[in-house]
Amino acid sequence: MNIVRTLRTHRRTTAAVAAAALALSLAACGNGSGSGGSDDKAKAAGIELVKSGTLTICTHLSYKPFEFKDGTKVVGFDVDLLTLLADDLGLKVDVLSIEWAQITSGAAFQAKKCDIGMGAMTITPERQAAISISDPYMDATQVLMVKKDSGIKGLADLRGKVLGAQSDTTGKTYADKYKDANGYKVIPFNDISLQENNVKSGRVAAAINDNGALYNFVKDNPDMEIVAEFDTKEQYGFAALKDGTGPKIIAKYNELLAKAKTDGKYNEIYKTWFGVEPKK
């Protein structure tokens, strides 16, 4: 599955953002919004929920178009995909925004804060060792965003300049890997919106992050442009507890993801958020 333009789609690797457990319980789209549903189907699948009648999802807001607030609701591509799971189990959906590292390390699941985690999360061996991860639901890559007419076309043009990267992400890992060879300085940002707006304001010369998020920003900010794409061959997955109920909730989701890809539901959701159907 790929994304818009050269968008081969993206991953959101670890983006740890500073808000020490921002306990923001937000109602998302799902099966109703009040008392929740029944646990019967979840129990039949061997899934123990942290909150009765509810699929509780951890993420770190905001990461548009994957998960972000629209009024009082959390919406986005990831939300719609996980709503497939909630609907199948007859549950309502609650989204909890917390520090990203709690999700990728598995701490959020061990503390029973949530059942499953979302956030355009790149699948890595380190994460697979710490958490259960779903089958890939999207391909990912990194892109370089700059102000139009900056003259910057790639990393080599950043010599003596500053590159903004999001903390605890694969984008920052990539930026750090090539900084010495290209002579630029890397400044980390805890939040993608800070990273994007610091390029827009001129504080940093460029930003590196997942293609889906940065292409979305460029769409709304015509003074910005994507000038390079780095084929990092990343893929996104959803996260859950490493053992116990975690593998069972992931197995159930994998079953529903495969079905959605067969019956056209996945393509429908993809087109809603990216404007095109995924490439075969």
pLDDT digits (tens, 9 = 90+) for 134-176: 999 999 899 999 999 999 999 999 999 999 999 888 899 999 9
Place of tokens 């009024």: 71
Give the model's pLDDT for residue 218.
94
In a domain, 9, yes or no: no
In a domain, 39, yes or no: yes
Going from the first residue of the chain to its last (280 residues), give the mean pLDDT of each consecutive group of 10, the final group possibly shorter. 40 40 44 58 93 96 93 96 97 95 95 97 94 96 96 98 92 96 96 94 97 92 96 95 97 98 96 84
Give the model's pLDDT for residue 167.
87
In angstroms, the CA 38 to CA 142 distance is 41
φ and ψ at residue 7, rounded to 5 degrees? -55, 95
- Same domain for 251 and 170, yes or no, is no
Give the model's pLDDT for residue 37.
67
Rg of the chain on CA atoms, in Å: 18
How many angstroms separate the first and last alpha carbons of the chain? Answer: 6
Q: Please state the pTM of the whole predicted model.
A: 0.78
In a domain, 1, yes or no: no
Containing H/E element for 139? Answer: strand 138-147
Q: Are 10 and 213 in contact (CB under 8 A)?
A: yes
- Same domain for 172 and 260, yes or no, is no
- Same domain for 134 and 251, yes or no, is yes
In angstroms, the CA 199 to CA 206 distance is 6
- Same domain for 180 and 250, yes or no, is no
Give the model's pLDDT for residue 184.
98
Give the model's pLDDT for residue 65.
93
- Same domain for 155 and 60, yes or no, is no
The token pair at 20 is: 């020490």
- Same domain for 131 and 248, yes or no, is yes
In a domain, 14, yes or no: no
- Same domain for 49 and 117, yes or no, is yes
Containing H/E element for 250? Answer: helix 246-263
- Same domain for 106 and 243, yes or no, is yes
pLDDT tens digit string along 41-74?
Answer: 999 999 999 999 999 999 999 899 999 999 999 9
Of the candidates 27, 119, 76, the residue with the CA atom closest to the CA atom of residue 216:
76
Domain count, the chain: 2
- Same domain for 117 and 250, yes or no, is yes
CATH code (residue 112): 3.40.190.10
Cα 184 to Cα 73, 142, 199, distances in angstroms: 39, 17, 15
In a domain, 74, yes or no: yes
Give the model's pLDDT for residue 169.
86
Domain of residue 224 covers 141-233
